[in-house]
């Protein structure tokens, strides 16, 4: 499995990655293809895909902020789930990045509990702040999510600085 930067790879892979992206996230938590193409120009935005046998195994889209690395989207191909790809990718990612944060849906059913349990294995903790996803588009509504951080909870001032950076970067 090899990682490829979506900014630099063939259009074929962009379309395959886009299919996985669309299948993996609800509309309010993702961009349109046109919006994604605009955000690809952002220097701090890093859209990485993982390819094996010419198939997109996973997507991992993240931002480098001043102090934190924010995982915006992480998904494994439905037909390849349960084969440890997610664990391998996240383990490698966490070895290369510090102060990693991400968002997940509030835990309200078996699926959301499984998602949290996955991240908990990697020492992610739920922060106590009421958190709303920054709308990706001007016409989008805020979505209440949980913000997780790797190993340590965020201090209130840290969270506020991170949220400010997110707000000034994520919206087109």
Span 134-163, average pLDDT: 91
pLDDT at position 37 is 86
pLDDT at position 169 is 87
Residues 6+ apart with CB under 8 A from 144: 106, 130, 131, 132, 133
pLDDT in tens, 44-90: 999 999 999 999 999 999 999 999 999 999 999 999 988 999 999 99
Residue with tokens 């509309």: 27
Percent of the residues in the chain that have a pLDDT greater than 70, as a whole number = 99
Percent of the residues in the chain that have a pLDDT greater than 90, as a whole number = 76
Of 94, 60, 92, the residue nearest 75 (C-alpha)? 60
The CA-CA-CA angle for residues 70, 64, 170, to 5°, reads: 65
pLDDT in tens, 9-23: 888 898 999 999 999
Instruction: Report d(CA 119, CA 150) in Å as an integer.
Output: 9
- How do 143-150 and 131-133 pair as beta strands? antiparallel
Q: Residue 137: is its pLDDT beyond 80?
A: no
Instruction: Report d(CA 100, CA 162) in Å as an integer.
Output: 11
Span 151-163, average pLDDT: 96
pLDDT at position 172 is 67
pTM: predicted TM-score of the whole model, two decimal places: 0.94
Of 166, 46, 149, the residue nearest 102 (C-alpha)? 149
Top pLDDT among 122 and 138 is at 122
Give helix then strand counts, H and E, for the chain: 5, 8
Q: Residue 113: is its pLDDT beyond 90?
A: yes
- How do 69-76 and 124-126 pair as beta strands? unpaired
pLDDT at position 19 is 95
pLDDT band at 32 (very low <50, low <70, confident <90, very high): confident
The CA-CA-CA angle for residues 107, 111, 112, to 5°, reads: 20
Alpha-helical segments (H) within 74-151: 85-96, 110-120
Span 93-104, average pLDDT: 97
Instruction: Report d(CA 100, CA 86) in Å as an integer.
Output: 16
């Amino acid at each position: 499995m090899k990682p490829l930067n979506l900014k630099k790879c063939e259009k074929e892979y962009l379309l395959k990655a886009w299919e996985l992206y669309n299948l993996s996230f609800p509309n309010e938590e993702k961009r349109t293809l046109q919006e994604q193409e605009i955000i690809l120009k952002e220097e701090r935005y890093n859209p990485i895909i993982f390819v094996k046998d010419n198939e997109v195994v996973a997507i991992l889209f993240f931002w480098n902020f001043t102090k934190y690395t924010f995982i915006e989207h992480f998904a494994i191909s439905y037909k390849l789930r349960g084969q440890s790809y997610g664990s391998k990718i996240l383990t490698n990612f966490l070895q290369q990045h510090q102060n990693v944060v991400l968002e997940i849906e509030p835990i309200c059913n078996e699926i959301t509990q499984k998602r949290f349990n996955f991240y908990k294995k990697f020492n992610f903790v739920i922060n106590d702040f009421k958190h709303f996803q920054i709308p990706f588009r001007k016409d989008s509504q805020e979505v209440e999510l949980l913000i997780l951080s790797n190993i340590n909870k965020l201090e209130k001032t840290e969270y506020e600085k991170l949220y400010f950076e997110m707000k000034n970067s994520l919206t087109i």
